[in-house]
Structure 1
Amino acid sequence: MRIWANINPDLLLAAFLPALLFESAFSMEAHQIKKCMAQMLLLAGPGVLMSTFLLGTALKLTSPYDWNWETSLLLGGLLSATDPVAMVAVLKELGTSKKLSTIIEGESLMNDGVSVVVYQLFLQMVLGRSFNTGSILMFLSEVSLGAVALGLAFAIISLLWLGFTFNDTILEMTLTLAVSYIAFYTVQDALKYSGILTVTALGMFYAAFAKTTFKGDNRRSLHDFWK
């Protein structure tokens, strides 16, 4: 117990977060993703921005620390994030409908990714970088849409690679695990985009095309591996 109490929390995050994000996105049903995507995007996009500004305003007006608007909104963005792993566990225990479960689970995953993007924006402001309306929109679009595009790119490339594996179950499991970590840290650390959005897009793309890419027992084995 003493070993776990003293472990570096950043190490735990680095070791488990990409796999947990991919598992949550990959376990979603493809037809439910398509049906619920509009609601998920509405809640995770405008919903997070609204939450950030409401929380930031409340902090600005009530905080005893005389924070400026940038600092208040920075903390508001952090507090807008939800815990997708805990949310998924609660939904499974409650036995909610597939549609509601998909909306909340997908929104929870995207919510964290958008919160990271909003945090990066206000952190730049706190550090002294100036923005106008156009540059704010450009920054948000580049960091969020760039992360999603890279997630789709990693998914397409890895699925094409899997097409040459001749139904090797072990290789398929290894590659899906590896690509979730490679995609996350390439985007998060090297490019400074949202690794959460990247892995979420990666997992959802896999969920949508799993039936055509993975056949029979291989598909069942892969889903069992990620449960």
Structure 2
Amino acid sequence: HTASLLSNGKVLVTGGANGIVPLNSAELYDPSTGNWTTTGNMSVTRYGHTASILSNGKVLVTGGDSGGSLNSAELYDPSTGNWTTTGSMSVTRYGHTASILSNGKVLVTGGYNGIVSLNSAELYDPSTGNWTTTGNMSVARYWHTASILSNGKVLVTGGDSGGSLNSAELYDPSTGNWTTTETMSVARYYHTASLLLNKTILVAGGCCSLNSAELY
């Protein structure tokens, strides 16, 4: 599932699976009370999806799996607790990433379509609700990470593509192109990537049962 910190301080949890059954339910956690309340259901059950908080406060949910990979997307409005559908991605995908760029657009990268891992990327424009394709990554990958650097570029690390990857690449929003960068010392997927105050990226753990960490 996903968990997103809303501007009102509450946390929105969406979807997931309770074993083998995908969920469309969503709920809100209120830190002031420590309690959970249900909110509107998504239109589609999904897990392995993403949730991104847009500049207008709405939450964009993309893709995922629901017994098959999805290209659908929908928006949650915290002021009403309701969901509305928005433009669909050009490609079905789960295990992808979604990053909010400085221009307000959302960059979706990679993922898996149920058959093969993907190197494609696309951009969501909140002002139109439409998607446009952008440059492909040099390596297909899913269960990778994507981190926005202080210079506005997006660093993608690791992932799975028929085996763990140690490769990394950079997306430049000004050109829509990718360039490879230094590889990690350890191949990994299902890992984490955190932007530190000194502007370095801490990559930690991942599959399978890794305790190593490294800095970019």
TM-score (norm 1): 0.22
Please tell me whether Structure 1 or Structure 2 has the larger radius of gyration of its CA atoms: 1
Between structures 1 and 2, the one with greater strand share: 2
TM-score (norm 2): 0.23
